[in-house]
Amino acid sequence: MKILMVLTSHSEMGDTGHKTGFWLEEFTAPWYVFRDAGAEVILASPAGGQPPIDPNSEAEDAQTETTRRFHEDREANEALANTTMLTEVPIDAYDAVFFPGGHGPLWDLAGDPAVIALIEDAVNRDMVVAAVCHAPGVFRHPRNGSGASLVSGRKVTGFSNSEEEAVGLTGVVPFLVEDMLKNHGGHYSKGDDWAPYVVTDGRLITGQNPASSAATAEAVLDAMKH
């Protein structure tokens, strides 16, 4: 069982001068769900090497059991520091694809031709494809076999407009995940702000926010069993 996790390489929060990247919990929670289940996890990013961690996700009030476990885990830290360039990952090297969020993916992964091709290929191969929080933004451009948006007519979730407003970044991000999913024909739903909420539509799995990370990963494992 091999799972490809694709992380952002983007570190700038628009033109604000603030840093961004991936949200640490959205990597560590799935990483340990997958690794504890015996999966081999392949880490990739557009630029390769160490992906940028959103500094806000390293603040003390953002720490969780899995982020603390990660900080003591030399193997996991070495794996993260040495992600493979996405274009160098063999197309048949994995059984499922998982995208952790953070704001970074809205700027690079959502429009990256390699990501678009990866998603379309994975869907055509009937693989499980999952994304959490802002990472469902990667479904902005991929198409299904009929040429329509990948999310058209499918049940999805992702970081909500109300959550984006709560963090004060509605006017900074290049697009709002909730609006994009709806505008592309997705049947968007959400739970309470900041509470775990996961939507499974066949082999497409999405989670709403950081608190949904572990449950999204568990849904991936369940889907792979079927």
**pLDDT of 226 strictly over 90:** no
170 pLDDT band (50/70/90 cuts)?
very high
Q: Give the pLDDT confidence score for residue 93 in this predicted structure.
A: 86
The residue-averaged pLDDT of 93-113 equals 97
Q: Which of 216, 209, 106, 213 is nearest to 166 (CA)?
A: 209
Q: According to DSSP H, which parts of 22-89 are helical?
A: 24-36, 65-71, 74-81
pTM across the whole model: 0.98
Strands 198-201 and 204-207: antiparallel
pLDDT, tens digit, 9 for 90 and up, residues 8-31? 999 999 999 999 999 999 999 999
CB 96 within 8 A of CB 127: yes
- What φ, ψ does residue 97 adopt, rounded to 5°? -125, 135
Nearest to 1 by CA among 50, 38, 42, 43: 38
Count CB neighbours of 65 within 10 A: 12
Distance CA 189, CA 168 (A): 21
Q: Mind listing the pLDDT tens digit for each residue in 108-132?
A: 999 999 999 999 999 999 999 999 9
Q: Which residues are registered as beta bridge partners of 188?
A: 156
| Cα angle for residues 69, 72, 78 (degrees, 5° grid) | 105
Q: Which CATH class is domain 2-225?
A: alpha beta
Instruction: Evaluate if residue 45 carries a pLDDT over 90.
Output: yes
Residues 112 and 86 sit within 8 Å (Cβ to Cβ): yes
Q: Please, which residues bridge with residue 156 across strands?
A: 188
CA 19 centroid distance within chain: 18
